Amino acid sequence: MKKIVLIGFIALILSFFSIAPTQAAEPIKFGFLHTLSGGVGQVYGVPDQAGVKIAVEEINKAGGVLGRPLEMISRDDKLKAEVGVREAKDLILNQKVHWIQGIVSSGIALAVSAYCKTQKVIFIDTVAQSAATTGEKGHRYVFRITTNTTNYARSIANAAAKFWGGKKVFIIGPDYEYGHRCKKDFMKTYTGLVPGAEVVGELWPKLGTKDFTPYITKIMSSNADFVYTSLWGGEVLSFTKTAWPFGYFDRVKMAGQDWGNMEGLSKMTRKAYPKGVLGGSHYPWWLLDNPINNVYYPKFKKVTGMDAGLAAASGYTTVYAMKKAIEKAGSLDTEKIIDALEGMVIDSPVGPLKIRACDHQAMWPFWVGPVAFTKEFSWPHITDAVAMDPPDKGYRTCSEIEAARKAQK
């Protein structure tokens, strides 16, 4: 037995050296770096990977980019910043990729972005939402093709002011920087719309909380006009399941940016759903009517068996954006590609998107509307959704970005 283990071991070590990178010049390589295992991040990473794969296959079938096929090199950051940077180094130094896209955690996105800056390689954030990535910490080599926290806060605050407009706001959010930043941004916008609005109570359950019972009873005993929540993902589902039997959604008004996304809602039934909550969605495909969405959505469902959520749509769009930019630049020169991307309008399942030149943020719209059941679908979804019009309104202006960057220094 021991001999077998020994031989196996040696074989494994030898195999490593045979995996040395092959320098085939033909395909255009890019890195897909995302959370594919361990913890909650994979709920976004795995579908994103599927979306990117679909885009790569479509493009390659249609003749590739500049006559060369795309090759996606997929890496797992394991939801750890050090692994993210390690894999980014591997992708850039060993695999010689032309750009990196992906990443769910804002912290990892900042770290990878900082590294890509030193290496002068393009990094495109497709899921992580921290406004700082393209704001205060933005630079020439980082892009984002998805929404950001500023847009969340502004869209939700606008909708809340429009639908309700109460002065007493209750806050509940996950206890980490995302939750606190959302609170700050939300209140800033909301007090601008409803002067005199104030926070009358706040709760910070730790990230990953399963049982929200005490939080729900506490909220229900407060006399707030409405609740703003930055809870996201599985916590949307957990919170809803626990809150429903209390009659929570009949008695409490609530608004939250992740409460209209498919990830949380697609598994809910009429027996428990966030009735009337003002939810937000990056990709409400049921409300959209454009040629890309009409093809992409059913295709994604057919290929993966999953409902297309926010991550996959961003990943898919990003590959096409790079295709367009490379073709416009006419070469794989990074600087030329960046010049091409700046101010470019790209096609996506949510319609045409402009990539702003000043901060490299795509003007991805964010839809907000009350969650309800309709006859059309067997799960709850946002209805009568409105997005900021034009979408630029959801983001800081270029001069605000410039000021924020200066303040950092």
Partner 1 sequence: MKSFFKQRNNGKAVGLLAAFAFFAVLPLFIGEGYISLVNEMLILAVAASGLNLMMGYAGMVSFGPSGLYAVGAYTTALILIYTEIPFGLALIAGPVMAGIISVVVGWFCVRLTHVYFSLLTLAFSQIIHTIIFGWYGFTHGDDGIVDIPVPEFLSSITNYYYFSLIIVCICLALLWMIVNSPFGKTLQALRENPERTEFVGIHIRRYQLAAFVLSGVFLGVAGSLYCGFNKNVFPDFADVMKSTEMLVVCLLGGIYYFLGPAVGSIVYIFLDKTISSFTEYWPLALGLVIIVLLIFMRGGIVGFFSESVAAMKERGRAKQHVSH
Partner 2 sequence: MNLQGLVIQLLSGMSVGMVIFLIAVGLSLIFGTLQVLNLAHASIYMLGAYLCFWISSMLSQVSGSFWWSLLMAPLLVAMFGGFLEVLLLRRIYGREMLDQFLLTFALILIIGDLCKLAWGVEYHTVDTPWPLDKAIIFGGLVFPRYNVFLILSGPLIYVGLWSLIRYTRLGSVVRAVTYNREMANALGVNVPLVYTGVFMLGCWLAGLGGALVAPMSAVMPGMDMVVLIDCFIIVVIGGLGSISGAFLGSMIFGLVTAFGILVAPRLAIAFGFILMIVVLIIRPWGLMGKPER
Which spans of this chain sit near partner 2 (rule: CB under 8 A)?
37-40, 42-43, 46-47, 175, 202-206, 208-211, 213-218, 220-221, 233-235, 237-238, 241-242, 244-247, 263-264, 266-269, 271-272, 306
**C-beta closer to partner 1: residue 94 or 217:** 94
Q: Which does 78 bind (CB under 5 to 8 A by kind): partner 2, partner 1, none?
A: partner 1
Say whether 17 sits in a helix, a strand or coil: helix
Q: Are 277 and 243 in contact (CB under 8 A)?
A: no
DSSP 127-146: S---GGGTTTT--TTEEE-S
How far lies 88's CA from each of 23, 44, 97, 140, 347, in Å? 18, 19, 10, 17, 27
Identity of the residue, 113 or 317, whose beta carbon is nearer to partner 1 in the bound complex: 113
Which residues inside 44-83 make contact with partner 1, applying CB under 8 A?
46, 75-76, 78-82
Strand segments, DSSP code E, in 221-332 are 226-229, 254-256, 278-281
From residue 151, give the alpha-carbon distance in Å to each of 131, 145, 241.
9, 13, 27
- Using only C-alpha atoms, the chain has a radius of gyration, in whole angstroms, of 22
State the nearest-atom distance from the C-beta of 92 to partner 1, in Å: 8
Residue 16 CB, shortest distance to partner 1, in Å, is 6
- Residue with smaller CB distance to partner 1, 125 or 367: 125
- Taking Cα atoms as reference points, which of 146, 133, 122, 145 lies closest to residue 329? 122
- Residue 13: name its binding partner from partner 1, partner 2, none (Cβ under 5 to 8 Å by kind): partner 1
Q: Which does 1 bind (CB under 5 to 8 A by kind): partner 2, partner 1, none?
A: partner 1
Of all helices (H) and strands (E), which one includes residue 387? strand 386-387
Smallest distance from partner 1 to CB 9, Å:
8
CB of 75 to partner 2, least distance (A): 17
Which residue from 355, 353, 351, 362 is spatially nearest to 340, judged by alpha carbons?
355
Among all chains, which residue has been given the structure tokens 């303040």? Answer: 407
Q: Specify the residue, 265 or 401, whose C-beta has the smaller distance to partner 2.
A: 265
Buried-state track 181-216, b at ≥16 Cβ within 10 A, e below 16: bbbebbbebbbeebeebebebebbbebebeebeebb
Select the span of 34-42, 145-153, 265-273, 369-377 touching partner 1 (CB under 8 A). Answer: 34-42
Furthest CA-CA distance within the chain: 76
The residue range among 35-43, 146-154, 270-278, 379-387 that interacts with partner 1, by the rule CB under 8 A, is 35-43
* Site residues (CB under 8 A) for partner 1, limited to 100-159: 105-107, 110-111, 113-114, 130, 132, 137
How is residue 358 written in tokens? 């000043």
16 is an interface residue for partner 1 by CB under 8 A? yes
**Does residue 10 interact with partner 1 by CB under 8 A?**
no
The residue among 207 and 288 lying less far from partner 1, judged by its C-beta, is 207
Beta carbon nearer to partner 1, 50 or 156: 50
| 38, 69, 201, 234: which one binds partner 1 (CB under 8 A) | 38
Token pair for 291:
């040629």
Cα 309 to chain center, whole Å?
A: 10
Under the binding rule (CB under 8 A), the answer on residue 5 touching partner 1 is yes
230 binds partner 1 (CB under 8 A): no
Cβ proximity to partner 1: between 79 and 368 the closer is 79
Q: Closer CB to partner 2, residue 82 or residue 211?
A: 211
Looking at this protein, which amino acid is placed at residue 370? Answer: P
Q: Distance between CA 300 and CA 346 in Å, rounded? A: 20
Between the two ends of the chain, the Cα-to-Cα distance in Å is 62
Sketch the per residue contact string, 172 through 191, with partner 1: x for CB under 8 A, - otherwise.
Answer: ---xxxx-x-----------
Q: Contact residues for partner 1 (CB under 8 A)?
A: 1-2, 5-6, 9, 12-13, 15-16, 19, 36-38, 42, 46, 75-76, 78-82, 85-86, 89-90, 92-94, 105-107, 110-111, 113-114, 130, 132, 137, 175-178, 180
